[in-house]
Chain A
Amino acid sequence: MIEVSHLTKRYGSRTAVEDLTFTVESGVVYGFLGPNGAGKSTTMNILAGCLAATEGQVTIDGYDIFDQPVKAKARVGYLPEQPPLYTGMTVREYLSFVARAKGVKIPALDAELDRVLAVTGTVEVADRLIRNLSKGFRQRVGIAQALLADPSVVILDEPTVGLDPLQIVEIRQLIRSLGKDRTVILSTHILSEVQTVCDKVLMIHKGHLIAGGTPAELEERFAGRATYHITAKAGLAEAREALEPVPGVLDIQAHEDDAGRCRLEVSVAGEARDMDEKLSFALSDRRIPVLRLEREQASLEDVFLALTQEADAPNETVKGGRRHDGHL
């Protein structure tokens, strides 16, 4: 459990993070989402105790990171943007150093090393020098290091950057499995990562928290409208007549086909419920055969674009954003 209140960090005159307040519950994978330079790394550095804040408070499991840093940091495992590896050591040497520095006692050391090596899939490289490892394995060793001494909070700063697609999939699976029994916070600017890995999202832009919630919630809350693509075996006017009275329908764009079919693009309000059923019933009540009915939801990417644009130009009202098929 992490509680952040009114966190502000300034570098001289530049403000990296301003008045950030949020709570991170236990047993959840949190995604920190934002463009490059949004203040993600700064925030994570502060949460991990590597950086002092200008103002504000951070408590980890009830311990203040600034007043009781040793107790607070003992509960956190941290992988910075660049894995902090001593390249001249073997993986096992490195991990045993970190484990001992985190207070793992010698009798328990071997078991602890074997545990993190197994979890991160680094058993086969355990006795190799870190400088000879590929980027994917280095990243895993970095994660292994964060998992030592069984922290209740794991903070990963852009854990999949620079990895090949297969490695990305593997690391994501690893993160998901970590999230089962502890809190994981990861930062990313890749939206698909958030959707596949995270239970909750915190969107941050120019040092401000602009939105928070589950990916689905965000999509629903911020998608102004959704679009249905409908193909029906009927005349244009007939179909229009059937659909226009349905509550929640905002707009109907129609195109007539040659073979007595029409294609419709029906815009519905984002908060309207059960539109799939309502639209198909409306058509079938008039005995119009429905050949295709597909919902296109605003994706997290749309939400993100909309929100960042909104934050940049607060006077401008942004509608919906860009749309495309399905999810990312």
Chain B
Amino acid sequence: MTAIYEKELDSQLNGLTGYVYGALMLLFGGIYVMAIHLQGSIDFTTVLGSLTFIYLPGIPLLTMRSVAEERRQKTDQLLYSLPMSMTKIVLGKYFALVTVMAMPLAVLSLYPPIVNGLATSGAIPLKAAYGAVVGFFFLGCALAAVGLFISSLMESVGLAAGACFLVMLLLYFLSPLTSYVSTSALTSFIGFTVLVLLLGVILWRMTKNGGFALVFSLALEGGLGVCYALWPGKFGGLFADVLGQLAVFDRFDSFTYDIFDIRSLVYYVTVAAVFVFLTVQSMERRRWAS
């Protein structure tokens, strides 16, 4: 695993993407710190709250090549023939991504004490600031796993970047979008139908087995229809609730209110674990149908 980890870290740091990501983070981080603290505010957490949008271009940039590039260069053949489990290979890649993401954050972490040293009045509460840094990092970890998974579904790096950016955009604006979703039972039903459709497409991309994906989606949709027919009352507002649960970015909000929210961290770790697992499965499926 360490061999994969080191190789991935090397390719991120030799291939510019790691530096571009770091530069984006530090550039905008610097601008926000200047802007907010020059106004006399001592709230470092708002800096990080504003910085989350860097993940929109940042995550696709870091993750797009992870698997898609191996596939393009046919080096995935080497990975498959290594005497190493696919889980270890994917984890090596994932930890390298997370390491690259931690680097600019380590630099950003120096800002609060520096600002405090220079400040004439008031000081940044360090506990809240570092709590937010941890939350920000875990948010990035969860998103990186999503990006890694998308990369593992795609044949080309450009496609992976595009799809990943769209997903990031959707996740970023999920909660404002959710407020537009009507809470009627029918809307929920239609919403879930769209989700089922999406799941079917992902399944089809992963297994390359259209028939299986179709049957699975139809079965799921059938179940959904039966539930809707039996208990239409339960469906009211359910879709909006589910979307709210999926809003990864919103989970970070509590950190900007000085709350160190352990539940959010657990949520992020869960999302990361699920998508790393899905990436392993997606890679393993390739053994069956190349």
A positions within 8 Å CB-CB of B: 11-12, 45, 48-52, 69-74, 76, 78, 80, 82, 84-88, 93, 97-98, 100-103, 145
Judge if B39 is at the interface, Cβ distance under 8 Å: no
Whether the pair B81, A100 counts as a contact (CB closer than 8 A) is no
Contact B74 A82 (CB under 8 A): yes
Also in contact, A86 and B2, with CB within 8 A (given A51-B287, A78-B81, A101-B82): no
Once the chains bind, are B75 and A52 in contact (CB under 8 Å)? no
Q: Determine the residue in chain A with the shortest Cβ distance to B69.
A: A86
Give a binary string over B74-94; 1 marks a CB under 8 Å from any A CB, 0 the rest.
111110111111000000000
> Do residues A50 and B81 form an inter-chain contact, with CB atoms below 8 A?
yes
Are B81's CB and A52's CB within 8 A? no
A91 to chain B, nearest CB (A): 15
Q: Given A11-B289, A101-B82, A101-B84: A88 and B77 within 8 A (CB)?
A: no
B80 touches A50 (CB 8 A): yes
**Bound complex: CA of A84 vs CA of B70, how far in Å?**
9
Q: Do B81 and A86 touch (CB < 8 A)?
A: no
> Which residues from A are CB-within-8-Å of B121?
none
A297 to B49, CA, bound (A): 82
Known: A11-B289, A84-B75. 12 other contacts (CB 8 A): A50-B81, A50-B290, A52-B287, A70-B84, A71-B83, A73-B82, A82-B74, A82-B77, A84-B78, A86-B75, A97-B3, A101-B3
Cα distance A78–B79 when bound, in Å? 11
Instruction: Say yes or no for B288: interface residue by CB 8 A criterion.
Output: yes
A84→B77 contact, CB < 8 A: yes
A80 interface neighbour in B2, B10, B74, B82, Cβ under 8 Å: B74
Query: Is B82 a contact of A100 with CB atoms below 8 Å?
Result: no
Partner of A49, one of B15, B76, B80, B289: B80
Is the pair A84, B74 in contact by a Cβ cutoff of 8 Å? Answer: yes
In the bound assembly, the distance between CA atoms of A88 and B69 in angstroms comes to 12
* 24 residue pairs bridging A and B, Cβ less than 8 Å apart: A45-B77, A49-B81, A50-B77, A50-B287, A51-B80, A51-B287, A69-B83, A70-B83, A72-B83, A73-B81, A80-B77, A80-B81, A82-B74, A84-B78, A87-B73, A88-B11, A93-B10, A97-B7, A98-B78, A100-B2, A100-B6, A101-B3, A102-B83, A103-B83
Is B81 a contact partner of A88 (Cβ separation < 8 A)? no
Q: Is B14 an interface residue (CB 8 A)?
A: yes
Across the two chains, which residue of chain B brings its CB closest to A85? B75
Across chains A and B, the number of contacting residue pairs, with CB separation under 8 Å, is: 73
Interface-centre pick from B2, B78, B81, B287 (highest chain A CB count, 10 A): B81
Which of these, B4, B15, B76, B81, contacts A76 with CB under 8 Å?
B81
Whether the pair B83, A74 counts as a contact (CB closer than 8 A) is: yes
B2 contacts across to A, CB distance below 8 A = 100
Q: Given A52-B287, A97-B3, is A145 in contact with B78 using a C-beta cutoff of 8 Å?
A: yes
B121 to chain A, nearest CB (A): 51
Query: Roughly how many angstroms separate A100 CA and B2 CA in the complex, as a whole number?
Result: 8
Given known pairs A50-B77, A73-B81, A101-B84, the reply for A86 and B3 (CB within 8 Å) is: no
CA distance A50 to B84 in the complex (A): 12
Residue of A nearest to B290 (CB): A51
- Separation in Å of the A127 CB from the closest CB of chain B? 15
Q: Which residues of B contact A101 (CB under 8 A)?
A: 3-4, 7, 82, 84
Q: Chain A residues near B11 (CB, 8 Å)?
A: 86, 88
Expressed in whole angstroms, the Cα–Cα distance for A53 and B101 within the complex equals 39
Contact at A100–B3, with CB atoms within 8 Å? yes
In the complex the two chains form, what is the Cα distance from A11 to B289 in whole Å?
7
Q: Do A73 and B287 touch across chains, with their CB atoms under 8 A apart?
A: no
B261 to chain A, nearest CB (A): 38
A176 to B82, CA, bound (A): 25
Closest Cβ–Cβ distance, residue A13 to chain B (whole Å): 12
CA–CA, A52 and B77, complex, Å: 13
Q: In the complex, which of the residues B76, B83, B85 has the most CB atoms of chain A within 10 Å of its own CB atom?
A: B83
Q: Give A19 to B80 CA distance when docked, in angstroms.
A: 24
* CA of A328 to CA of B77, assembled, Å: 34
B81: chain A residues within 8 A (beta carbon): 48-50, 73, 76, 78, 80
A69: chain B residues within 8 A (beta carbon): 83, 85
B contact residues around A49 at 8 Å (CB): 80-81
Question: Separation in Å of the B90 CB from the closest CB of chain A?
Answer: 14
Q: In the complex, A103 Cα to B4 Cα: how many Å?
A: 11
How far is A49 from B84 in the complex, measured between Cα atoms in Å?
A: 11
Chain B 14-56 interface 0/1 with A at a Cβ cutoff of 8 Å (1 = within): 1100000000000000000000000000000000000000000
